[in-house]
Structure 1
Amino acid sequence: MTATTTAAAPAGAPSPERFRPEYHYSAERNWLNDPNGLVFVNGTYHLFYQHNPFGSEWGNMSWGHATSPDLLQWQEQPVAILCDDQEAIFSGSAVFDEHNTSGLGTTGNPPLVAIYTSAYSDASPLAGRQAQSLAYSLDEGRTWTKYSGNPVLDRASADFRDPKVFWYDGTAGSYWVMVAVEAVQREVVLYKSTDLMAWEYLSTFGPANATGGVWECPDLFELPIDGKREAMKWVLVVNLSPGGIAGGSGGQYFVGEFDGVKFRSESTVTEGLQTDDSRMREYSWLDWGRDYYAAVSFSNVPDGRRIMIGWMSNWNYSAQTPSEGWRNSMSLPREVTLTRQNGALMLRQHAVDPFNGPGFRNFQRGPQPLASGAVELVGAPGEVARIDAEIEPGRATRVGLLLKAGDGEQTVLSYDVAEGVLRLDRRESGNMGFHEAFPSIESVAVPLENGRLRLQVYLDRCSIEVFAHDGRATITDLVFPSESSTGVGIFAEGEGARLLALNIKGH
């Protein structure tokens, strides 16, 4: 969690801290969007992010900075890389240059190197361009120096951005690989370098699958299939806005092979720029909600784990959400793995659990039958909590949970048995008047397993993150309920449903 501030509010008005999340990172003040430069070094996770140090609206893009020993407790640090009159500091990545390939440190003190997009202003000789630049730190990210030879990669493009850099060691050799985008062309472009400064073009991927918006914030990494190191595949993540599966911003991914030069997708459904979105649900999506965007992964994580964080908002309404003095937050970190399901390869996501420890209340029910109708779970924590539920719908047509419920307010997580579809309905969730696109229903196909539905739901003050069947499908949505709307309920439509287990942990 992050440090919070308190401010006097007018009598009868909600506190400006009312919706500040408890277990999702938010900056103490001002605007936050895309996570950048995620890296683990010497026992510390570093989260950099797009940040306006001077206001709560987008602008003056710089890299904010927070650190954590465990991905749960975050400490905000001073702004890492500040914009100036020549450039804004757009998205990118950071690497621990352990062998000092860049020469920006020493053998005894290798540098952290940030690779970011310079968005050049009118005052710059490169006005209007986006190119890739470096900054480096010799004190584990506390202070940063911009490289004097910036930019290190310039395609004379207005939309070349968001470099994700990693060290490749394979049959083609050993070198740094940069994965960036030509955003408007919906292309991922790959380069290689031995020193992070001189870059050689490798290949281009795309357009493919979802192309209804610009492509941004790519990532490329290798994962074992079902934990078996002898069976590996590469995953290419591409975020896009608009054009997400739920409307506005979203993130898709491709599974395939990378030989050190070219990524070859084995999960492409459609190629080229698409004007017909009728096949959208056949694509692979990181999340089926409206509020999980620009997700990228940490580099240098121990044991080869792949942990991602997304921006928990949507460009449709991110500037209008009801907060004061601060705006927007990150998702919970998620460990992603690759699994085979019904012959297809797909990502499975598990949240880094803030409730895995003492000091929380436990509420349990089941096993027991579920009569047709809704039952309030009196005494269950429902504002900041984790809900684990296993339900056997039986002959019922619909089952689910009522979340953040109060007088005239509720968010409904429901499962339609005939359709095999899980839905999160926030049309009665509370404050929705700040933007016409906010009231919505998100949905994802989730087949029952052995006739059962398994759900894990994380509630924070302004968010709901749903993980179905051990993270095979996720839905992330913001909600802004009244302070009194903390009720939890369970319901069935029709007879024959059974609650096999329910555990709610929170406060």
Structure 2
Amino acid sequence: MRRKNRPVWMLLAALAASLAVFLPSTPAAAGTVWDYPEFPYAPTTYSEPYRGQFHFSSQSGWMNDPNGLVYANGEYHFFYQHNPHGLAWDTMHWGHATSPDLVHWTQKPIAMEPGVQPGTLFSGGGVVDTANSSGLKTGSLDPIVVYSNTDGVSVYYSNDNGRTFQAYDKGRKVVTVPSGVSSRDPKVTWDAARHRWVMVFWSDEGGNGVSIYTSTNLLDWTFASRYRADWLFECPDLFPLPLDGHTNQQRWVLTSASSQYVVGGFDGTTFTADGTGPQKMVNGDFYAAETFTNTPDGKTVQMGWQNGNQGSTWTGDASFPVDLGLVSTPDGPRITRTPVAGLSSLASQTQHWAGRTLTPNSNPFSGIKADIYDITAQFDVSHATAGSFGFDLHARSDGSADRTVVYDTAKQTLDGIPLKPRGGKVTMRLLVDRGQLEIYADGGLFSVADNVNFDSAADSQGIRLFSNGGNVKLDSADFTRLNTSWGTGQSTLDSDLAGPWHAAGGVWSDVAGGKQGSAGGNGFYLSASSGADAVYQGDITLNTAQAAGLTFHAAADGTGYTATLDSTGVLKLWRPGQDIATHALPIAKNRTYHVTVRTDGPRIRVYLDNGADPLIDATDSTYASGRFGANVFNGQATVQNLNTGDGGLHAFTAGSWAPHGGTWTVTPAGLHGSSSGDGFYVSDRSGTDFTYQGDLSVTNGTATGLTFRAGTDGAGYTATLDTSGIVKLWRPGHDIATHATPIVEGRTYHVTVRTDGPRIRVYLDNGADPLIDATDSTYASGTFGVNAYNADVVAQNLTIS
């Protein structure tokens, strides 16, 4: 976020970034509700010069502070301050990435964007409400609750594992500070001893410091105390740590954006520091660090912002995640930082040395060429004659190197920072990435984070372990070559199928609408999931392609069955060399179709657009089982919501459904609609007098409703839920009746409509009495459907009786 009184190095870095070439996209701007969440990223292989291969960076755009770091519903979520439309700070969004292990990150769509969520979406924290203490839970997933805004704190929450966020009470400020005082950067922690939540946020009330609030439900907060300190500027974090690993000796740590910290006690109301002055946790390019909440192993994991890393399409990266510890030292309790163990999953080659004497003419690492790697080395300096020793990283034959890490034996400094030997030993660990260097020593008490533009050319990948002016004993050294961590997850394709996915022909890219495939002939995108008898369904959109479809019972090269939508006017079931069955019908470009395939032994049925009856019912025994995936032929097409099982739209029997305005897809949770104005999804089922009911919710935006007695274009009656706070019965050009009642974004409501000639009654949430009881004779009969207006909406369990 943009801040007052930022450190000089950050101002210079920001200025340099602002002079950089911007991304070839629109200027920074707020988003719009109806197409939220956006995915504004050009494809990348993450192989650009200086792009970290195991440090997280945004797929493109500017990133700064980590926000709302949580482990929720089986994965880690990394939210961060983000301008997705340029290389400099501007128009803050919340970027989002997920990981199964804190190492392999996948870029996700924007989590929160101005214009969709209210408020200034600057830095903040988050928690996982596993006990539903907030009462915000609406489905099977634990809510992710995050906090942001300036000059007061607002609450936002997600019930779909961080895919979308709603503002609690339309962004009401739940924590306020006196008028004219600046505040920001709320961080929330669970206080297990007192069974309640604790919030800290920075403000300049009476000078730098944090205000401490408490809550039992994450929504209503009570002021507890204030901790003032000149050093305590921006992005505070407050968390407990066991001293020396003893859970019965728990201490609390309070940190600032610049990684200064104090250790002390917290009685549930007041934090009291043990000493008088702060300690420095990390030296170098490191700011605004935050810890994860709800980690599955109970560890306290921290990540920070490194501003200095930049390429042609991105600015900024995150430090590698570390486990924090607290240990006793002669100077008092001190923080330790240890890279998370998951880094070992990237190891591809290791080499070990032991019991060597390092001389000015020796280099145990001679002959090794490496781009990204992990080195640990222990030296015995008790009888060292060398004035200094260390590593030249990305060294060249002319003696130059991109970065040198030196231990000065006389000054007892590592990289210019004091480091006394322990028992005559100095141990250092170096994590070398394309744009980053992190140094750890002294059991994690010593930590440096640096951005270095390492030259990855083949003749610049040498490593020199050197000794100057004498000898030093090398007790041991370990070198581990690392692989890239990128490319293991799906950014925008929603699917319950297992990865890794792979392309067998064509180019497959992430776009806001899902996975987009382009091929001159047949191209396949295949999951690692295989099956025999199954229900397989997904959304298919022909962009420029002649055809696209669902592939199943397939080999790794795509050889199997495909149920295809062909723009020549046919739905087709085929396998290589054989069209098994076809059904003639118009197929439009740039319209989304929902395709469902049911297999039962050799019997294969294909359904379209939630129709009750199959359009194809054929038998073929060539392939009994195989992989699930998608196909594109001769052009470009987009696929989304590739799922197995009976999830999807549960609705009354109809021959088919068709959209009129907006985009309509089918997720396992039901029908999802997005429309900038009025959009309708209309069935071919008609009725005159009936009871029509269903479950509706507005994810974000204005309104949704049940449409009835309508034409194929949706023109008819609609019973609408409007988040401005009304239930409304309307027809084109006329509001028939309204009833004031709160309608909350993200909450599911059950709507019932009963018609009896011109009499129309509308009920909410199975109430005995109608909220609306009106008469109108404009439409006597017509079709049933769903409406979305300037919103993302979900509809499910639609019934007619």
2:130 aligned partner: 98
CA contact (8 A) 1:100 1:106 kept: no
Describe the SS at the equivalent of 2:297.
helix
Q: Deviations over 1:85-133 (max 9, x none)?
A: 963301111111223222222596542211112x4xxxxxxxxxx3211
Superposition map of 1:65-464 within 5 A: 65-84=96-115, 87-106=119-138, 110-117=142-149, 119=150, 130-147=151-168, 148-155=170-177, 156-157=179-180, 159-170=182-193, 173-183=194-204, 185-208=207-230, 210=231, 215-239=233-257, 250-269=258-277, 283-289=278-284, 291-313=285-307, 318=308, 322-353=310-341, 355-357=343-345, 360-372=348-360, 375=363, 377-393=365-381, 394-406=384-396, 407=398, 408-423=400-415, 443-464=416-437
Report deviation, 1:166: 1.7
Report deviation, 1:309: 0.5
Report deviation, 1:376: 7.3
CA distance in 1, matches of 2:359, 2:260: 39
CA contact (8 A) 1:161 1:183 kept: no
1:45 aligned partner: 76
CA distance in 1, matches of 2:346, 2:190: 39
Runs of 5+ consecutive residues of structure 1 not aligned to the other structure: 8-14, 120-129, 240-249, 270-282, 424-442
Q: Deviations over 1:293-331 (max 9, x none)?
A: 111100011232100011122xxxx4xx54111111111
Q: Which residue type is aligned with residue 80 of structure 2? A: Y
TM-score, with normalisation over the residues of structure 2?
A: 0.52
CA contact (8 A) 2:440 2:446 kept: yes
Report deviation, 1:446: 1.2
CA contact (8 A) 1:16 1:325 kept: no
CA distance in 2, matches of 1:378, 1:372: 13
Counterpart of 1:479 (choices 429, 452, 457) is 452
1:428 aligned partner: none
Report deviation, 1:397: 2.1
Describe the SS at the equivalent of 2:467.
strand
Describe the SS at the equivalent of 1:90.
coil
Seen in structure 2, the aligned counterparts of structure 1 residues 70 and 358 have a Cα distance that, compared at 3 Å, is closer
Whether 2:60 is the aligned partner of 1:29: answer yes
1:440 aligned partner: none
Q: Which residue type is aligned with residue 306 of structure 1? A: T
Q: Which residue type is aligned with residue 267 of structure 2? A: D
Question: Could you tell me the percent identity over the aligned residues?
Answer: 33
1:468 aligned partner: 441
Q: Which residue type is aligned with residue 286 of structure 1? A: M
Seen in structure 2, the aligned counterparts of structure 1 residues 225 and 77 have a Cα distance that, compared at 3 Å, is same
Higher Cα Rg: structure 1 or 2? 2
2:654 aligned partner: none
Seen in structure 2, the aligned counterparts of structure 1 residues 187 and 153 have a Cα distance that, compared at 3 Å, is same
CA contact (8 A) 1:163 1:179 kept: yes
Describe the SS at the equivalent of 2:130.
coil
Report deviation, 1:418: 2.0
Q: Deviations over 1:18-44 (max 9, x none)?
A: 111100111111111111011112221
CA distance in 2, matches of 1:4, 1:465: 29
Comparing 254-263 and 151-160, the one that deviates more: 151-160
- Structure with the bigger RCO (C-alpha within 8 Å, sep 6+) is 1
CA distance in 1, matches of 2:340, 2:192: 29
Report deviation, 1:17: 1.4
CA distance in 2, matches of 1:100, 1:32: 31
Report deviation, 1:469: 2.2
Q: Deviations over 1:473-501 (max 9, x none)?
A: 01110011333332211112232411111
Report deviation, 1:352: 1.6
CA contact (8 A) 1:16 1:323 kept: no
